[in-house]
Amino acid sequence: MPIILGVDPGSRITGYGIIRVEGRHTEYIDSGCIRVGEKPMAERLRVIFQSLVTLIAEFRPEEFAIEQVFMARNPDSALKLGQARGAAIVAAATSGLEVHEYSARQVKQAVVGSGGAEKAQVQHMVQVLLSLSRKPQEDAADALAIALCHAHMNQSLLRVAGQGGKARSGRMRQQ
């Protein structure tokens, strides 16, 4: 019953979502947002890194999934997002977790059934799939969706392996 930490990186708000998967059953554990505001970039990255290290120590996930960087219109924004993503990846790596990456399209496809889904649709489906009493915050919902996407990918690989196919060992990296 792996615990999965999903992360939606951002230079001002980084969402996180933690779920436990047991067979086909998925249980919500925790979610939230790491808010760093307008601090200098080095301080934001330190807060993201330390916050994720603390979450990893508290919840002890066996799996870590993060959204891949996308090409933004603003190169400065893309750089800042990449740095925040790097801080999150280093937090996972220093904690001994493999890093699994998924595109926004893959996440939306896995959770909503459409790679072009809107954020409100992702929030709604996360609420439904995890039987939450209310919609999670947008960034937390995205992080939970990333964790759910990883769970779905793992289940798909297990089904293929169970049908005589061979699942790849080692790092599972989705492009």
- Write down the pLDDT at residue 95: 96
Residues of the chain with pLDDT under 50: 164-175
Cα–Cα nearest to 85, from 31, 138, 5, 10: 10
Is residue 8 part of the annotated active site? The answer reads yes
- DSSP, collapsed to helix, strand or coil, labels residue 6 as strand
Catalytic choice (8, 63, 101, 142): 8
- Write down the pLDDT at residue 71: 65
Query: Binding site for Mg(2+), residues?
Result: 8, 67, 139
- Write down the pLDDT at residue 161: 52
- Write down the pLDDT at residue 158: 52
Is residue 67 part of the annotated active site? The answer reads yes
- Write down the pLDDT at residue 37: 87
- Write down the pLDDT at residue 100: 97
Catalytic choice (63, 101, 139, 142): 139
Catalytic choice (63, 67, 101, 142): 67
Q: Which helix (H) or strand (E) holds 31?
A: strand 25-35
Q: Does 2.40.240.20 match the CATH number of domain 1-156?
A: no
User: Which pair of structure tokens corresponds to residue 24?
Assistant: 């086909």
User: Which pair of structure tokens corresponds to residue 9?
Assistant: 């990186």
Query: Binding site, residues?
Result: 8, 67, 139
Per the CB < 8 A criterion, the answer to whether 107 and 115 are in contact is no
Is residue 76 part of the annotated active site? The answer reads no
- Write down the pLDDT at residue 12: 94
Residue ranges of domains in the chain: 1-156
